[in-house]
Every structure is written in structure tokens, then in C-alpha cells.
Amino acid sequence: MPEKILADRYRLVERIDRGGTAEVWRARDLRLDRDVAVKVLGVEADPAFRERFTTEARRAAAVSHPHVVAIFDEGQDGNDAFIVMEDVRGRTLRDIVAERGAIPIPEVATLVGQIAGALDATHRAGLVHLDVKPANVIVDQAGNAKLTDFGIARAARDSEERELVGTARYIAPERIAGRPVTARADVYGLALVAYELLAGQPAFAGAENEDLLRDRLERGAPHPRAVRPSIPEKVDAVVAKGLAREPDERYATAGAFARALSDAANDETEVLRPIAAAAPRPRARPRPDTLLALGLVLVLLLGVVLFFARFPSTAGSGTTPTPDAAHTTPNVIGQELTAAANALIAAGYRSPIPWTIDPQSKDKACSVISQQPAPGTSVQAGSTASLVIAPGNCTKK
């Protein structure tokens, strides 16, 4: 399909993903002169898949959020149905975990917070995503997570599904049991993503078959701490609650889960737990010759100090200490805009700190709901940071 032009407008340039009966291409919008991503459905797709493909475009376009991949267009060119999307240059969380393994807890809290914002916007639009997994989250070059692939999303008011579609290890228990599906199914999916980022492996590994689905119904919530013992107990408990088998026992919203995870990650009492002291060794009495040697060393040190004390200090000569090359990015999520911006500037970021408003957010007015770069990462002096905040009268003081 190289150099093929769809609908006399979208020139396919490079295939960037392939799965099932669909392919995703990087393309050029010849009319608006911009790069886009185009998801193309092949001729081998059955009628049910084609109907779901068209529904995906319509439902995904109904969700507008900074952390949702935007839908620009959809159409048909001969036997090829296609969806035109925002071109996000980055990698999926699946690929990042495969390369890095377990992710630092502050970074996990930031990513989960971004995905939660996207899911809450999805639920406000009356949709349930139903396929929340690391492969469906793209992290761009600035560290922003973007939720994509609404291929099996459906309206929250729909009472039945015609078939059980999705990746087995990420399907919520109530879907397996054929029970009504709510937004808490996506909370379960988000908790599975958090588990995988924290532990460096899926919560439910192994072959994707009926045994895996049955195991989901019979087993209790898995604990990432069982795989990575360094995870604080409070973080482990938050993830376990998000993975509760009964939907009513989970967090009510994705945002509530993300806030609980962030609070647990920032709880210093979990990080600074006391370490048991080693048993004291019996003290030996010093020998006389050891005391004599120690006395001679002290006399020599005193002589050196007195010798250099005669020379003037170099303070004020114009020589200044070299500052550290990098600082640690503070976690400012939940803080008021001015305080958050000042904290980032104090850490070495360039002033002023740019910020945007998420009109969909229900968080406290002017509070930070996501930040870039992620907390805990190193920052070179003079580099830039950005914030996404809840709506309100947010002029920085």
C-alpha cells in the first residue's frame, strides 16, 4: 500500500502498527498539509467488525481530552474503511515496560493520573472504553500519556454485549460473568495498567484462554508487592482495591483511583520505614599502643589546621561553587497553580511555566491535574516544564 492515497486526501507514508484485520499508517493530509495517523480496515474484515470499526470512529470523536488521541475524520475508499487520528510520536506503555521493566512509583502515579483523566472524560461522554491496557496507551516524546483504540467501546446505557471482545488478561470479571458493565470496568483496567507498570509484568500472565478467564473469576485481587517487595503497602492496597472482583468494592471513578495512588505514593511514612539495627558487637578495650598512635595523629592534624589558618580565606574572591548539573522534578499534582509553578522554577525549570486548562476536570479550581516532565525525573537547568490544571480563575500570582 505504499504511496496509496485514500479519498484523494491522505497519502499513506509508513506503516506503524498492524493487528488483526486493521493497520495503522503514518500519513500526510494533503488538504491541510499535516501529519496524521490513519487506521485502515482491510477487505477481509467481516460485517460485524466493519460495523464496530465505524462505531469506534463516532464514539472516539465524542471524547475531547488532552490525554485522548483525537479523531479527525473517517471514511470509505473502495473496500477500505479508515479512521484519521492525531499522529502521536511515541511508544506504547507495553513497549516501555518490555524495555524498562518496573517503572518508578512517582512516574507510575503521574501516568495513571493522565490516563484517569482521559477515562473520566470518556465516562462523562456516556461511554465505557472496555479495552484499557498498556498497548492502548501511547506516551509521546514529552511524557504525555494518550489513550487510544475505542474499537470495542460502547455506550454506558447499553445493557448487553453481543460478544466478549478484548484481550483476555485485561477483561473485567463482570464482563466474563455476563453481568452489567459500568465505568468501574475501566477502573479495573486502569488498576491492571498500574499493576503492570509497578511490577514490570502483567497481573495475569500466561496463555489467553478459558483457564485465564476462569482464574479471573475465582482468584482474589493480585498484589504487585508479591512481585516487587519494595512497593509500599499503601500503594499495594490501592491497586488491590482497584482490582476487586466485585465492581462495588472498587473506586467509583478512575480519578478517585488515581488520586488514591498518588496520595499513597507521596506518603513518606511508607518510604521512610525504620530499618532494624544490627545487633551490637562486644566492645574491646583499646590497647595502650593504640591510644599512643591515636594521640600522635591528633597532634599532627592540629598542626596542619594551625598552619593553614595563617593564610587568608578565598571567600569573596569571585570563585563560586559549581551548582549541581541536575535537580529532581517535584510532584506538584494537586497543588495550586502558583505554588506548583514556583516549585518547578525552584527545581531549575525555565520561567514562566506554561499551563493549559482541562475544561472537563472536576478537580479543585486551578489545581494541577497533570505535569510534564514526570515527578522524580532529573531536570537540567534551563529546561522547560508544563502543567494541565482544573478550570477556574487561574491567573498566576
Q: Could you list the active site residues?
A: 131
Q: 345 and 327 in contact (C-beta within 8 Å)? A: no
Task: Measure the CA–CA gap between 232 and 225, rounded to whole angstroms.
Answer: 8
Burial of 266 (0-12, 13-18, 19+ CB in 10 A): middle
Nearest-angstrom CA–CA distance, 146 and 133: 12
Contact 144, 96 (CB under 8 A): no
234, 238, 240, 241 alpha-carbon torsion, rounded to 10°: 130
325 neighbors 380 (Cβ within 8 angstroms)? yes
Q: For residue 192, give the amino acid letter.
A: L
The cell for 187 is 477502573
End-to-end CA distance of the chain: 54
The 8-class DSSP code of residue 18 comes to E
* Residue entry with cell 447499553: 158
